[in-house]
Amino acid sequence: MTSDIKSDDVLISNNFVKCYSNHLVISLYYFPYGDKKVKYNDIISCQLIPMREMGFTKVKLWGMALSPIWWHSDMHRLGRESCIILDTNHWPKIGLTMDDNDIVNVYNLIMEKINFNQSKKQENNNFQFTSEKNF
Lowest mean pLDDT among 26-30, 46-50, 54-58, 95-99: 54-58
Q: What confidence category does residue 119 fall into, taking pLDDT thresholds of 50, 70 and 90?
A: low
Strands annotated E in 1-135: 10-13, 17-20, 23-26, 36-39, 45-50, 63-64, 69-71, 82-87, 93-96
Per the structure, the complete domain to which residue 72 belongs is given by: 10-120
- The yes-or-no verdict on residue 37 having pLDDT over 50 is yes
- The yes-or-no verdict on residue 2 having pLDDT over 50 is no
Whether 57 is covered by a domain: the verdict is yes
Count Cα atoms within 13 angstroms, Cβ side, for 130. Answer: 6
Predicted model pTM: 0.83
**Contact between 111 and 75 (Cβ < 8 Å):** no
Average model confidence (pLDDT) across the chain: 88
Whether 77 is covered by a domain: the verdict is yes
Whether 126 is covered by a domain: the verdict is no
Whether 103 is covered by a domain: the verdict is yes
pLDDT tens-digit series, residues 49-86: 999 999 889 999 999 999 999 999 999 999 999 999 99
Whether 5 is covered by a domain: the verdict is no
Whether 82 is covered by a domain: the verdict is yes
What's the total number of domains in the chain? Answer: 1
Whether 43 is covered by a domain: the verdict is yes
CATH number for the domain harbouring residue 104? 2.30.29
Whole-number percent of the chain with pLDDT over 90: 74
Q: Which H or E run contains 2?
A: none
Whether 131 is covered by a domain: the verdict is no
